[in-house]
Amino acid sequence: MNPSGGGASFPASLVLVGAGKMGGALLQGWLDLGLEPRRIRLIEPQPAPNILALCAERGVRLVQNQTSTEEPPEVLVLAVKPQMLETVAPALAALVGEAMLVISILAGKTMKDVLDRLPRARAVVRAMPNLPAAIGCGITGAIANSAVTPDQRQSADALLSAIGQVEWLADEGLIDAVTAVSGSGPAYVFYLAECLAEAGRAAGLPADTAARLARATIEGSGALLAQRIDQSPAELRESVTSPGGTTAAALDVLMGDEGLKPLIEKAVLAAKKRAGELSG
Ligand SMILES: NC(=O)c1ccc[n+]([C@@H]2O[C@H](COP(=O)([O-])OP(=O)(O)OC[C@H]3O[C@@H](n4cnc5c(N)ncnc54)[C@H](OP(=O)(O)O)[C@@H]3O)[C@@H](O)[C@H]2O)c1
């Protein structure tokens, strides 16, 4: 691994397969962090106009298909839809060597699924990013198998950090819970924005005003959470809750026996169960 750009430990060469929402965010993040474009090869049969422009502007090599004559890279990043693994694997299998690190962000595909499809691969990192990766504010749960060397893990960390924070897991069995909390989590927050707007409308506000208030409240609270890392969410909540006040009146409802906590627990368990079913 040759360090390059921003102090990050980027690989000397990598192939990215698929530049949709997530692959595109990774590519943009790597280039923004200073990964030399000539080290990247992108395999994408139908690149979106923004990806075409990015590759042309920065000098990233873009090919439609893997050909057997290509040089094997140090790292192979799989970012196609999970159901495309079967389709892309035969062409990639010839490229994979024992020294290569394969990083898969394919939801529901286990490390065994990847190793079964790419039989010469040894080192695999399975990662579960989330949607805010699109703006570099994601969080990715990642797990490395025992064949991953410390250098490869550092390289995976540098590559995944380009779209936000990385949380390394000790056990692949935890990935369904990560999917249920942070993978699906952005949708819960968006739904909270919808519910808050709807409740504002029910409380008498014009619908557009309620929608703006709800959206900006979630945006601002998220930004505050991000900035005030020395304070826990509970401390931030307590800092805006005066005893007997309006916030306390609402929290009495939200924090009651039938409140948000058991509901969120139930929702997360349902997502975890479904993640298990989809990967089983
Ligand atoms: N989006 C998320 O929030 C999220 C979160 C966690 C994990 N993931 C995982 O990330 C992966 C990508 O998801 P996404 O949302 O980025 O999907 P996406 O936008 O559909 O991106 C997949 C990309 O792969 C391309 N592709 C299809 N066939 C290919 C081939 N033979 N060779 C190379 N590229 C090919 C697709 O092109 P076409 O459009 O032409 O088919 C598309 O550009 C998925 O496995 C998903 O489980 C996504």
| Ordered domains of the chain (ranges, CATH) | 14-175 (3.40.50.720), 183-279 (1.10.3730.10)
Whether residue 1 is predicted with pLDDT greater than 70 in this model: the reply is no
Which atom belonging to ligand 1 lies closest to the Cα atom of 84? 28
Q: Calculate what percentage of the chain has a pLDDT beyond 90.
A: 90
Rounded to whole angstroms, the Cα distance separating 125 from 263 reads: 33
Mutate to test the pocket of ligand 1, among 17, 22, 41 (most ligand atoms within 8 A of CB): 22
Q: Give the pLDDT confidence of 172-189 residue by residue, as tens digits.
A: 999 999 999 999 999 999
Q: Is 160 in the pocket of ligand 1 (CB under 6 A)?
A: no
Q: Give the pLDDT confidence of 6-26 residue by residue, as tens digits.
A: 456 899 999 999 999 999 999
At 103, phi and psi to the nearest 5? -110, 125
Rounded to whole angstroms, the Cα distance separating 75 from 103 reads: 7
The kind and range of the H/E element at 144 are strand 138-144
> Whose CA is closest to 210, among 201, 219, 218, 202?
201
Q: Is 266 in the pocket of ligand 1 (CB under 6 A)?
A: no
Mutate to test the pocket of ligand 1, among 62, 70, 80, 182 (most ligand atoms within 8 A of CB): 80
With cut-offs at 50, 70 and 90, classify the pLDDT of residue 4: very low
137 and 108 in contact (C-beta within 8 Å)?
Answer: no
pLDDT at 90: 93
Q: Is 77 in the pocket of ligand 1 (CB under 6 A)?
A: no
